[in-house]
């Protein structure tokens, strides 16, 4: 039976950079509860290597950052959202410096790296390639000093809706926690793919629960695959190899030792991630793979200082980056799509806000510019809290009719088998390369299995599987409807870009869907 266990001003769900920053921003004038499904540091933020892009250098400007972001987004960026992010980015960096984030320095000035598709060196980093970990550790220390109620290992199953507003959340254990606003910061959905850089917790829970509650989601077909992920002999033998290595001169070579990227893009290894990923697959499919990342022209001392995490991980797999080429291949990395938001993190459901990877602000368009994700999470988390504080205050409410008791189901089979098959099939048919026939077959598979999971479940594994199925269906629906290739979405049966599709696809549960553009086009 559902039971009311807490009443707050703001509930924040998720503990990556967006959730932690939102909690710190909200703590001064609100009763805040932060819920996270695992430990605080089990996030994509913790794993982030490259850094935070911001126009802080004298020779750089928000205008140049704006243009680079639009170029990477392949015509689908929300220009106003991008303008907000690049303009407020330097101020956010100053706030992080005041909080004590230990950004690397060179001769007393902030050290800046250049990554793919950036026209300037503008990526701030910490500990060489440990930016996410050191950023998260700093924010967690500040959070521990605040008044925020932090609850780890709490799995949220549903958002609560009353009179058309979000007013709280329900947990797997049956707790009901109410608030006048809920901020989703649940991160990504990379675990729907067999090969991914994302941690185990990234099962798309926030997108799924928002969609079930009636919020609009957008751009779900755009999933970015990071080109350079270590390719071990087994699925779990993976680790991200930051784009910053290519910024420092690392090149991609095939099995014959031939550098191939100059033949695919004018920026070679620093081209957009979708271009690099497809070029690598082309090498594999034409028999010139496997593909290796080669940075052996750099000294061991340089590599151990600039990329200590990557150097150590490679060493543990038997590779010395100063001497050896590292086998790499693409893996699911970042979802450009998510819960549709406005410039203040507001969703289409009053009382619900979203920031970070779970949100679709429109900043990334069809393809995220490297190292824009941490900046986007920080900027829009701050804006969401400002909007909540400025909004008319609705009292948190709870009624037994809001979340009536429902039969809890137990699964008799092996959900792990379905999960493994889902991830394998999504990677093969809705990954870097797609076509209509494969997507249709995948759609049938998802529809058949989704019918078995649209109910209340007794354990977290099944809830996660339900969420994975729901977000996979949204990815596939978007990919089928978008009959072109653009950014991270590439269909071999529609290899060209079509101006007819220079628009975002928005999906709302229960609304009539248009075959080409979804229920709403914006």
**Buried-exposed string 276-309: b where 16+ CB fall within 10 A, e elsewhere:** bbbbbbbbbeeeebebbbbbbebeeeebbebbeb
Distance of CA 479 to the CA centre of its chain: 18
* 273, 383, 473, 486: the active-site residue: 273
Which residues touch 26 (CB under 8 Å, ≥6 apart)?
A: 9, 10, 12, 32, 148, 385, 388, 389
Answer yes or no: are the C-beta atoms of 115 and 123 closer than 8 Å: yes
Burial class (CB in 10 A: 0-12, 13-18, 19+), 1: exposed
Contact residues for 398 (Cβ-Cβ < 8 A; gap 6+): 4, 7, 160, 167, 168, 176, 178
R_g of the chain, CA atoms, integer Å = 22
Omega prior to 279 cis, within 30 of 0: no
Q: Residue 67's CB: how many other CB atoms inside 10 A?
A: 14
Cα angle at 183 between 181 and 188, to 5 degrees? 160
> What is Dmax (Cα atoms) for the chain?
67
d(CA 335, CA 191) in angstroms, rounded, equals 11
> What would the 3-class secondary structure string for 64-86 be?
HHHHHHHHHCCCCCCHHHHHHHH
Tokens 């008044």 sit on residue: 147
Cα–chain center distance at 385? 20
Q: Is 273 a catalytic residue?
A: yes
Picking from 3, 482, 513, the residue whose alpha carbon sits closest to that of residue 219 is 482
Structure tokens at 517: 């553009």
Residues belonging to the active site = 273
């Amino acid at each position: 039976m559902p039971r009311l266990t807490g009443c707050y001003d703001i509930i924040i769900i998720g503990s990556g950079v967006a959730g932690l920053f939102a909690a710190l921003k909200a703590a001064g004038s609100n009763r805040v509860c932060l819920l996270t499904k695992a430990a605080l540091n089990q996030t994509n933020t913790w794993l982030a290597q490259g850094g935070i892009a911001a126009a802080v250098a004298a020779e750089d400007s928000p205008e140049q950052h704006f243009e680079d972001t639009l170029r990477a987004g392949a015509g689908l960026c929300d220009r106003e959202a991008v303008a907000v992010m690049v303009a407020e980015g330097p101020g956010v960096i100053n706030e992080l410096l005041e909080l004590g984030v230990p950004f690397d320095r060179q001769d007393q000035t902030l050290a800046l790296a250049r990554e793919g598709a950036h026209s300037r060196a503008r990526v701030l980093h910490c500990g060489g390639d440990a930016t996410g970990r050191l950023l998260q550790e700093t924010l967690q220390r500040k959070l521990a000093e605040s008044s925020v109620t932090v609850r780890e290992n709490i799995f949220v199953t549903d958002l609560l809706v009353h009179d058309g507003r979000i007013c709280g959340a329900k947990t797997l254990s049956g707790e009901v926690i109410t608030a006048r606003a809920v901020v989703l910061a649940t991160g990504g959905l990379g675990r729907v793919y067999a090969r991914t850089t994302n941690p185990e917790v990234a099962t798309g829970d926030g997108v799924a629960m928002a969609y079930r509650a009636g919020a609009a989601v957008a751009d779900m077909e755009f999933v970015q695959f990071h080109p350079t992920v270590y390719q071990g002999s087994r699925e779990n033998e993976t680790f991200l190899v930051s784009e910053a290595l290519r910024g420092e001169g690392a090149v991609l070579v095939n099995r014959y030792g031939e550098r191939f990227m100059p033949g695919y893009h004018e920026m070679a290894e620093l081209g957009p991630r979708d271009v690099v990923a497809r070029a690598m697959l082309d090498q594999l499919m034409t028999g010139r793979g496997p593909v290796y990342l080669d940075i052996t022209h750099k000294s061991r001392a340089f590599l151990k200082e600039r990329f200590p995490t990557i150097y150590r991980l490679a060493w543990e797999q038997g590779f010395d980056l100063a001497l050896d080429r590292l086998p790499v291949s693409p893996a699911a990395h970042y979802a450009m799509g998510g819960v549709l938001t406005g410039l203040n993190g507001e969703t289409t459901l009053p009382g619900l806000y979203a920031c970070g990877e779970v949100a679709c602000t429109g900043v990334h368009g069809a393809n995220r510019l490297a190292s824009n994700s941490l900046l986007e999470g920080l900027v829009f988390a701050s804006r969401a809290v400002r909007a909540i504080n400025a909004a008319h205050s609705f009292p948190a409410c709870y009624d037994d009719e809001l979340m009536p008791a429902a039969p809890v189901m137990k699964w008799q089979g092996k959900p792990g088998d379905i999960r493994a098959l889902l991830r394998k099939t999504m990677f093969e048919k809705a990954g870097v390369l797609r076509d209509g026939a494969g997507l249709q077959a995948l759609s049938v598979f998802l529809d058949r299995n989704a019918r078995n999971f649209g109910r209340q479940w007794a354990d977290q594994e099944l809830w996660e599987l339900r969420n994975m199925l729901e977000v996979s269906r949204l990815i596939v629906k978007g990919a089928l409807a978008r009959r072109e290739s653009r950014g991270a979405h590439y269909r071999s049966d529609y290899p060209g870009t079509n101006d007819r599709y220079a628009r975002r696809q928005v999906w709302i549960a229960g609304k009539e869907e248009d075959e080409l553009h979804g229920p709403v086009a914006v």
